[in-house]
Amino acid sequence: MSDNIILENSNKTKPILWVTLLAWLAIVLFLGVNETLAREPGTPPIPLLIAVVAPILVYLTAYWSVARFRELVLSSDLQFAAGIQTWRFGGLAFIALYVYGVLPGLFAWPAGLGDMAIGITAVWVIRALRDRPDFVKSKAYRTWNLLGILDLVTAVSLGALSAYLGIGTSETISTFPMVRLPLVLIPAFLVPLFIMMHLTSLIQSRKLAATGKSCAWVGQRILCGMKETTTHA
């Protein structure tokens, strides 16, 4: 299927995607207001873990089974996918909440520093994509996206471990704020969204690297559609 057809089909799918995202956000807000994801200290935070994993499973299922959604993923703006990760510099807030005795250090420090690292390096990735569109096919680009996913998985795992085992917690210090508004938006909405952006980037990168297509900027989007040629001296 040509790039033009893929772009045309993906544009038709975008309104449905935005409605889905807004509905998802509304559900998370409802869960946060009612503290539905909260569990007693010392018990596994299963509802929160489901809230993190379920959207990612929906994303993967849709990619494998819905052609229009797959075309949307394959035509997504990779500069936007990297740019949205700059928000993760806000992980500094986790460290601030640790300093003020709100969140346990076992969760706050790894989550905060990891997010800040990805947020800062996202600027470099955006610049690399802008200056060298073929960077999208590089090992460095894929490694950065994998590290971004690893950071999020580590943060969620340590948060769950801290809640279950009570490590570093007390009557006033716990991960309970993460299941209440506004912080519940991070694990139940932003974390899955960030992972989806990383997966979108990885899918496009591996596909383009396998097909040998060269890439160039067309307007505000990277398009890859020309066979690479090797020039000999």
User: pLDDT tens, 189-224?
Assistant: 999 999 999 999 999 999 888 877 777 877 666 776
Q: What are phi and psi of 63, to 5 degrees?
A: -65, -40
Has residue 128 got a pLDDT over 80?
Answer: yes
| Residue at 140 is within a domain | yes
Query: What is the per-residue pLDDT for 216?
Result: 80
88-104 tens-digit pLDDT: 999 999 999 999 999 99
Strands 221-227 and 213-218: antiparallel
Distance linking the first and last C-alpha atoms of the chain: 35
What is 6-56 written as a DSSP string? HHHHHHHHHHHHHHHHHHHHHHHHHHHHTTTT---TTS--HHHHHHHHHHH
- By the 10 Å C-beta count (0-12 exposed, 13-18 middle, 19+ buried), 45 is classed as buried
Structural contact between residues 104 and 168, judged by C-beta atoms closer than 8 angstroms: yes
Structural contact between residues 196 and 57, judged by C-beta atoms closer than 8 angstroms: no
| Residue at 195 is within a domain | yes
Q: What is the mean pLDDT of the chain?
A: 89
Tell me how crowded residue 144 is: count the other CB atoms within 10 A of its CB.
20
Query: What is the per-residue pLDDT for 232?
Result: 36
Buried b (16+ CB within 10 A) or exposed e, 107-131: bbbbbbbbbbbbbebbeebbebbee
Has residue 10 got a pLDDT over 70?
Answer: no
Has residue 12 got a pLDDT over 70?
Answer: no
The single-letter DSSP state of residue 222 is: E
Query: What is the per-residue pLDDT for 231?
Result: 36
Instruction: Describe the chain by its helix, strand, coil percentages, rounded to 5.
Output: 75, 5, 20
Has residue 228 got a pLDDT over 50?
Answer: no
| Residue at 233 is within a domain | no
Higher-scoring residue by pLDDT: 145, 211: 145
| Residue at 232 is within a domain | no
Query: Which residue segment(s) compose the domain that 79 sits in?
Result: 3-227
Query: What is the per-residue pLDDT for 6?
Result: 54
| Residue at 30 is within a domain | yes
Structural contact between residues 180 and 35, judged by C-beta atoms closer than 8 angstroms: yes
| Residue at 111 is within a domain | yes
- Please state, in angstroms and rounded to a whole number, the distance separating the CA atoms of residues 102 and 199: 32
Query: What is the per-residue pLDDT for 13?
Result: 72
| Residue at 223 is within a domain | yes
Please choose, from the candidates 126, 132, 171, the residue with its C-alpha nearest in 3D space to the C-alpha of residue 144. Answer: 126
Stretch 13-25: mean pLDDT, rounded? Answer: 90
Percent of the chain with pLDDT over 90: 70
Please choose, from the candidates 94, 111, 116, the residue with its C-alpha nearest in 3D space to the C-alpha of residue 153. Answer: 111
Judge if pTM exceeds 0.75: yes
User: Sorting pLDDT into bands at 50, 70 and 90, what band is 11?
Assistant: low
**How many domains does the chain fold into?**
1
| Residue at 135 is within a domain | yes
User: Sorting pLDDT into bands at 50, 70 and 90, what band is 188?
Assistant: very high
152-184 tens-digit pLDDT: 999 999 999 998 988 888 888 999 999 999 999
